[in-house]
Amino acid sequence: MKVTVLQVPKFKIDFNFSKKQMADVAIEARTLMAKRTQSGKDIKDRQFKPYSLLYKKSGTPNLTDRGRMIGGLVVNARKNYGKVAIPDAKENNKGEGHQRGIGRLPKREWFGLSPRDENKLMAKVVRPMFNKKVK
């Protein structure tokens, strides 16, 4: 699974965002995604479906049993491009199972940015980057 955080569209102006700047965007996106997921909310900022009665865990589902799936989120960046992905095949499959509701897992769309996450990302990292380039 991977989500492209920001790919700068082609403009007549080359914004020329550095690998470091794009990594900063992707790192913040990863942080927002992990915090929202661990608070028990999906990409539409809705509460996850509750745990089944067969699952021996109570409380708010947060997809953080051992922390390997969310802890396995990595950032990849280059000029004008940043992404968040889970490169480990086992953790990626687990994440996709939750995302799509595969097998006995209920669908819990966690991977990606919610509208609230996008607004926070824009305000904290992306807009300041664009503002510096436009001045």
Low-confidence ranges of the chain (pLDDT < 50): none
Instruction: Return the pLDDT at 123.
Output: 92
Q: Identify the pLDDT of residue 54.
A: 74
Query: CA 131, CA 26: separation in Å to the nearest integer?
Result: 18
Long-range contacts of 58-66 (CB under 8 A, 24+ apart): 61/108, 62/37, 62/38, 63/37, 63/38, 63/98, 63/108, 63/110, 64/37, 64/38
Q: Give the per-residue pLDDT at 59.
A: 77
The rounded distance, in Å, linking the Cα atoms of 46 and 114 is 10
Taking the model in full, what pTM does it have? 0.84
**pLDDT, position 65:** 80
Q: For residue 63, what pLDDT is reported?
A: 87
What distance in Å separates the CA atoms of residue 132 and residue 124, rounded to the nearest whole number? 13
DSSP assignment of 79-133 equals TTEEEEE--SHHHHHHHHHHHHT-TTSPP---SS--HHHHHHHIIIIIHHHHHHH
The SS3 call for residue 59 is coil
Contact 116, 45 (CB under 8 A): yes
What is the per-residue pLDDT for 7? 57
